[in-house]
Structure 1
Amino acid sequence: MAQRLQGLTQVVSPAGYEDAMIRKVQSELPKGLHEVSVDNLGNVIVQVNKIDEPNPFKVMVFAHMDEVGFIIKKIEEDGFIRVERLGGIPEKSMLGQSVIAETPEGKIMGIIGTKSHHLTKPEEKFKLPQVQEAYLDFGFRSKSEALEAGVFVGMPIVYARQFFRCNSLAFSNAIDNRAGCLILLELIDRLVGKSLPCEVVIVFSVQEEFNLRGVIPAVRAVNPDVSITLDLVVAADTPDLKGSADISLGEGPCLNLYSFHGRGTLGGLIPNPKLVNFVKKVADAEDVSLQYSTFMGGLTDASFSQLENAGIPMIDLAFPTRYTHAPVEAVDLNDLTALIKLLEKLVPAFHAGVDLKRG
């Protein structure tokens, strides 16, 4: 599983430019699936099985393929690059980091520039520059040299690829949300060819890190009776976050009971109470230990997709993650294994007799 996760995290797939991940996902799918399609936005829609009866109960499970990054807004005459954020890039972790640009001629490496420590004034040492103040250095001596190398305004940039392990922990770029994609692929492998009481549709979605709404066309087309989102939850077991929440790596997957952004466009998810209880019962029966979270200041693409059609009972299942949206994030492989185990039993437990009605 670690090797598969590493393969997924090495793919360059910023929001809006998920084509490489689309191809990667397609290459990882097993034979025997009912149908695989890609919609006009890039969502990969995998129908695992087909039930030949009117209005079969339909379960959708999804996770996004994209990652945070930057997008080039200006090429300076001296060859340095100016960027805007593409998704929620934190300024505090970007300076001095290695980055990748993919040109038609291939990948090129650069860094996010940082002022030499030896010439930094005391009053500047604790100042955090904005993304718009940052510059990228790919070694170009002029604007024309950058253009000749295939660099252009509007080109996406991502952090350099890296992956390493310590015990059961995996450290990598883009754990958010390649770990979710890994879980989907493992779930498909376990469900394909089985006799299921419901139709199962797995969606690898796009543009979650950009506007949270890329999955909406897929949700609208699939029109599921219930849906499960897979994404990270912030682990609070590091020295700087201890006491802020009871979420730790290695303690099992997380059931998110509340999310709310609190800034800008309001959005979030309060899951269907009956769905919450259903998930808890299956987890108890399968001896899967769950953690529980409320998530203030962060959203998943469930936030708006739940409002489609007649309204869709939806829930966030998550894997605890450290250092979210940083160049390197951390996850416990045991938590991923436990979440796969839960989903393997949870998804086939749904059928037309499951009551998720409100009131």
Structure 2
Amino acid sequence: MSNINRLKDKLQHLTSIVGLAGHEDKVINYVKNSIPNHDVKVDNLGNVTVKLNTSKDEDPLRVMVFAHMDELGLIVKRIEENGFLRVERLGGIPEKSLAGQSLVIDTGEKQWQGIIGTKSHHITPENEKYSVKRVNDIYADFGFRSKKEVMDAGIRIGTPVAYSRQFFSNDSIVFSNAIDNRVGCLALLELIERLEGQHLPCELYIVFSVQEEFNLRGVLPAVRDIKPHVGITIDLTLATDTPDLEGVADIQFGAGPSIATYTFHGRGTLGGLIPNPKLVNHVRLVASENEIPLQDAAFIGMLTDASFAQLENDGIAFVDLGYPARYTHAPVESVDLHDVEKLIQLTEKLVHSFNKGFNVKRG
């Protein structure tokens, strides 16, 4: 089996798991079962930490590489007497993608399939044909006939509702739900496997984080515990090689991983990351020395786990490394696994480059 096909097979397993923010338990168990030979710590929020290469140095360079396990979706906010469900967003769900969308609820005992209801086209008024309904105006239909049937199925107020599971591909280009950020989880699992038995110049902490799609702060307990000197976030970046994004940026499928030189939400949280310049230059140098292509990215409207984690302790040098993804936060996203493979290779080389003398002090 080729490396790309092996990655594809692993990714299909990861994206088949329903694991919304705050409800990541099945992903947590998958990660733990995937690395049985390692000491795994799970904190009370659900962050999974794997420590590699305990250093004998008095104060070793601590490096943290992390990616979030959770996906975005909806929650049940009201159950109608006739069995229909009213929902609320859990994360940045684009309302334009919801009409007619197929959904899944995993109660632990059973998976229930449903859809977002849409008014029959034949009787839709002209003024509604080109409008987007807000999440507060939509409903989900899971085929229940009464509120009692819903409750008997184990569905309650607050139950998570996910996009239906889908997975298909054309060679290395994969289409699936939850590409964001199960690809990051795939990269971490691959990194652990490839570093098996190797001596590292640093203490390495691999963290699978929680609740990124909710408020980006779920990783903070792990950061406070590890107290890293250097951190690498692995998450998507926005591929802009589709017809509707021409001229927005130059991030392309097949051109390798990205390094984010600037991210800023611009709304609400006002979070973002301007990465440590010395760390950025180091990443570029390692990529160049190993002939790994690297795309520069700068976006408003994006955030990652690093946005608030960088402010912990004495301030931490973080950098966002990404895989280009199309159709982000939509029911089906897309990624080129050749970019993911190069991202894993770059991360492995970077881990070997971080030694006790590595300096990211500003000024």
1:139 to 127, 139, 143: 143
C-alpha displacement of 1:53: 2.2
1:299 has 2:315 as partner: no
Q: Which residue of 2 aligns with 1:286?
A: 290
C-alpha displacement of 1:144: 1.2
Q: Which residue of 1 aligns with 2:328?
A: 324
Number of aligned residues: 357
Distance in 2 separating the partners of 1:313 and 1:150: 44
Q: Deviations over 1:258-298 (max 9, x none)?
A: 00111112110000000000000000011001000101011
Instruction: Read off the aligned partner of 2:267 and give its amino acid letter.
Output: R
1:54 has 2:58 as partner: yes
1:7 has 2:13 as partner: yes
1:105 has 2:109 as partner: yes
Q: Which residue of 2 aligns with 1:226?
A: 230
Alignment of 1:1-359 (within 5 A): 1-29=7-35, 31=37, 33=38, 35-359=39-363
Q: Please, what is the CA RMSD of the aligned residues?
A: 0.8
Q: Which runs of 5+ in 2 are unaligned?
A: 1-6
Instruction: Read off the aligned partner of 1:10 and give its amino acid letter.
Output: S
Q: Deviations over 1:196-229 (max 9, x none)?
A: 1101100000000000000000001000110000
C-alpha displacement of 1:150: 1.3
Kept after mapping to 2: 8 A contact 1:283/1:289: yes
Distance in 2 separating the partners of 1:27 and 1:242: 42
TM-score by length of 2: 0.97
Distance in 2 separating the partners of 1:148 and 1:317: 45
Distance in 1 separating the partners of 2:243 and 2:84: 37
Kept after mapping to 1: 8 A contact 2:200/2:351: no
Instruction: Read off the aligned partner of 2:197 and give its amino acid letter.
Output: G
Kept after mapping to 2: 8 A contact 1:49/1:192: no
Summarize the Cα distance change of 1:104–1:8 in structure 2 as closer, same or farther, 3 Å threshold: closer
Q: Deviations over 1:132-155 (max 9, x none)?
A: 111000001111111111111110
Distance in 1 separating the partners of 2:319 and 2:220: 15
**SS of aligned partner of 1:298:** coil
Instruction: Read off the aligned partner of 2:136 and give its amino acid letter.
Output: Q
Distance in 2 separating the partners of 1:92 and 1:193: 48
Distance in 2 separating the partners of 1:104 and 1:284: 47
Greater shift after overlay, 170-179 or 101-110?
A: 101-110
**SS of aligned partner of 2:243:** coil
Greater shift after overlay, 105-114 or 208-217?
A: 105-114
Instruction: Read off the aligned partner of 1:17 and give its amino acid letter.
Output: H
**SS of aligned partner of 1:240:** helix
TM-score by length of 1: 0.98
Q: Which residue of 1 aligns with 2:3?
A: none
Distance in 2 separating the partners of 1:260 and 1:285: 30
Q: Deviations over 1:16-75 (max 9, x none)?
A: 0000000000111152x3x31000100000001211221111110000000000000000
Instruction: Read off the aligned partner of 2:259 and give its amino acid letter.
Output: L
Q: Which runs of 5+ in 1 are unaligned?
A: none
Distance in 2 separating the partners of 1:329 and 1:160: 12
Distance in 1 separating the partners of 2:294 and 2:109: 47
Kept after mapping to 2: 8 A contact 1:235/1:247: yes
Percent of paired sites with the same residue = 60
Kept after mapping to 2: 8 A contact 1:30/1:189: no
